[in-house]
Amino acid sequence: MGEFDLIARYFTRPPVRALVGVGDDCALLQPRPGTQLAISSDMLVAGRHFFDDVNPEHLGHKALAVNLSDLAACGARPLAFTLALALPEVQEPWLAAFARGLWSLADAHGCELIGGDTTRGPLNICITVLGETEGQPLLRSAARPGDELYVSGTLGDARLALQALQGQQALPPELLAQARQRLEQPTPRVALGLALRGIAHAAIDLSDGLRGDLGHVLKASGVGAVVEAEAAAGLLAAARHPGWRGGASAALEAVLAGGDDYELAFTAPPAAREAVLQAARQTHTPLTRIGRIEAEPGLRVLDAQGRPLPLQATSFDHFKSP
Ligand code: ADP
Ligand code: MG
């Protein structure tokens, strides 16, 4: 099967919203009047972001999910995406499964594939998503002292699964299955991001761990934050399981160092609390309030008695020397 047959068979559908989709030199989209385009790219490299033998259907899901998560963090509505794919060889069952995972998430969000590039090479998937924002987007730079700090869903389980799969950590099978699902099939919080427009101040999606990603918000906003250790540690789904042997401090560390969770962290003023909870209910998104924003820069994690806990490792950084 050649390059163009492959594109036609697995990655071509008639355009829906796009004026021109796959098949010409450029795709064409007509932005709706009064909207802004939100654009984001994420690349997944075999051996770095996923194991070579990962279930291809999960990989197709995740490649798009991590991109949709960026749209969610800005309060943008998904419109379309492009797919740049390097494949070592054409394996049709692999491609069919990959495409299944990809289309299923794309359809769930009404996000159409409008183009891309296909080449032979070490397995590598780069997706660019396009979304639209109306009015004020959610930005990292908008946190204000006095804001409350919220996180959607659960945190830290993806990292736990990664460590278990790498043999660095033992996990009971049922815990591994649950954590692995978080690693391989994250849920982008698109509906929540949309519902928080006009309510939340700052937002970010959590792809490199709470400590690091929250740090980006604090820096961009010129503020600091206090996080309650107990509330944060409770975000680890595995710790709610009777098979969890790690205790509270390991749970806290997993949550702070985390990574690959693709949940949203956001801030909102106390007066907006009811509106925030309403947005969570309306979008069926679990939400936890874990702290607040303060004027004093830096991140402080407090124990139940209000005493600061020492913070060690930082977040994930591909180019940081050890
Ligand atoms: P060009 O050489 O003009 O850049 P290509 O020959 O690379 O175009 O691709 C042909 C068409 O197929 C283009 O419309 C391109 O956007 C689309 N395309 C290529 N690879 C993919 C892919 N993996 N998924 C979706 N569309 C793709
Ligand atoms: Mg090309």
Instruction: Give the residue, by CA position, lying nearest to ligand 1 atom 9.
Output: 117
Number of H helices, E strands in the chain: 10, 11
Which atom of ligand 1 is nearest the CA belonging to 10? 24
Q: What is the pTM of this model?
A: 0.94
Which atom of ligand 1 is nearest the CA belonging to 84? 23
Task: Using 50 as the pLDDT threshold, list the residues of the chain that sit under it.
Answer: 313-315, 322
- Residues bordering ligand 2, an ion, CB closer than 5 Å: 117
pLDDT at position 316: 54
Which atom of ligand 1 is nearest the CA belonging to 117? 20
- The phi and psi torsions of 171 (rounded to 5 degrees) equal -135, 135
Output the CA 154–ligand 1 centroid distance in Å: 37
Domains of the chain by range and CATH?
3-134 (3.30.1330.10), 140-302 (3.90.650.10)
| CA atoms of 235 and 227, how far apart (whole Å) | 12
Output the CA 101–ligand 2 centroid distance in Å: 23
pLDDT at position 319: 57
Quickly list DSSP for 198-210.
TT-SBEEEESS-H
Which atom of ligand 1 is nearest the CA belonging to 113? 25
Output the average pLDDT for the chain. Answer: 95
Output the CA 71–ligand 2 centroid distance in Å: 25
Output the CA 110–ligand 1 centroid distance in Å: 21
Q: Are 300 and 224 in contact (CB under 8 A)?
A: yes
Q: Are 202 and 139 in contact (CB under 8 A)?
A: yes
Q: How many C-beta neighbours within 10 Å does residue 243 have?
A: 12
Q: Are 9 and 1 in contact (CB under 8 A)?
A: yes
Segment 206-252, tens digit of pLDDT: 999 999 999 999 999 999 999 999 999 999 999 999 888 888 888 99
Q: Are 193 and 74 in contact (CB under 8 A)?
A: yes
Output the CA 84–ligand 2 centroid distance in Å: 9
Label residues 128-137 b or e (16+ Cβ within 10 Å = b): bbbbbbeeeb
- Using CB distances shorter than 6 Å, the residues near ligand 1 are 7, 11, 22-25, 83, 85, 113, 115-118
pLDDT at position 313: 46
pLDDT at position 312: 64
